[in-house]
Amino acid sequence: MASIEAFEDHCWKDVMSADDIKLYSPYARETFVGPDVAFLAIDLYNKAYQGGPGRPVDLDPQYPNSCGMFAHRAIEPTKKLFAAVRRAGIPVFYCTQDSRPQNRPKGAVSTRRYEKSANPTDHGIYHEFTPEPTDVIIYKQRASIFQGTPFLSHLNLLGIRSLIVCGESTSGCVRASTVDAYSNGFHVSIVEECTFDRSEHIHKVNLFDLHHKYVDVMHVEEVVAHLDGLAAKRPALQAAE
Site residues for a copy of itself, window 25-64 (CB under 8 A)?
Answer: 26-27, 29, 35-36, 55-57, 60, 64
Measuring CA to CA, which residue among 14, 13, 78, 7 is closest to residue 42? Answer: 78
CB nearer to a copy of itself: pick between 133 and 235: 133
CB nearer to a copy of itself: pick between 203 and 219: 203
Q: How far is the CB of 122 from a copy of itself (least distance, A)?
A: 16
Cβ atoms of residues 170 and 198 within 8 Å? no
Residues in Cβ contact with 21 at an 8 Å cutoff, skipping those fewer than 6 apart:
8
Q: How far is the CB of 97 from a copy of itself (least distance, A)?
A: 12
CB nearer to a copy of itself: pick between 11 and 16: 16
* Radius of gyration (C-alpha) of the chain in whole angstroms: 18
Q: How far is the CB of 185 from a copy of itself (least distance, A)?
A: 3
Q: How far is the CB of 23 from a copy of itself (least distance, A)?
A: 5
Interacting span for a copy of itself (CB under 8 A) from 79-87, 141-149, 218-226, 227-235: 141-149
Helix pair 175-183, 200-213: axis angle to 10 deg: 0
Residues 87-126 that bind a copy of itself (CB under 8 A): 91, 98, 100, 102-105, 107-108, 111-115
- Of the candidate residues 135, 221, 230, 231, the single one contacting a copy of itself (CB under 8 A): 135
Lay out the sheet containing 136-140: strands in order across.
Answer: 136-140, 92-97, 37-42, 162-168, 187-196, 216-218
Residues in Cβ contact with 228 at an 8 Å cutoff, skipping those fewer than 6 apart:
84, 87, 88
Q: Any idea what DSSP says for residue 90?
A: -
Cβ atoms of residues 34 and 161 within 8 Å? yes
Interacting span for a copy of itself (CB under 8 A) from 42-50, 71-79, 195-203, 227-235: 195-203
Cross-strand pairs, 191: 218
| Size of interface with a copy of itself, in residues (CB under 8 A) | 75
Q: How far is the CB of 71 from a copy of itself (least distance, A)?
A: 14
Q: How far is the CB of 182 from a copy of itself (least distance, A)?
A: 8
Cβ atoms of residues 118 and 97 within 8 Å? yes
Residues 196-215 that bind a copy of itself (CB under 8 A): 198-199, 201-202, 205-206, 208-209, 212-214
CA distance 87 to 162: 18
The Cβ of residue 100 has, within 10 Å, a number of other Cβ atoms equal to: 7
CB nearer to a copy of itself: pick between 160 and 224: 160
Residues 144-173 that bind a copy of itself (CB under 8 A): 144, 147-159, 161, 171-172
Position 183: which residue type? S
CB nearer to a copy of itself: pick between 68 and 77: 68
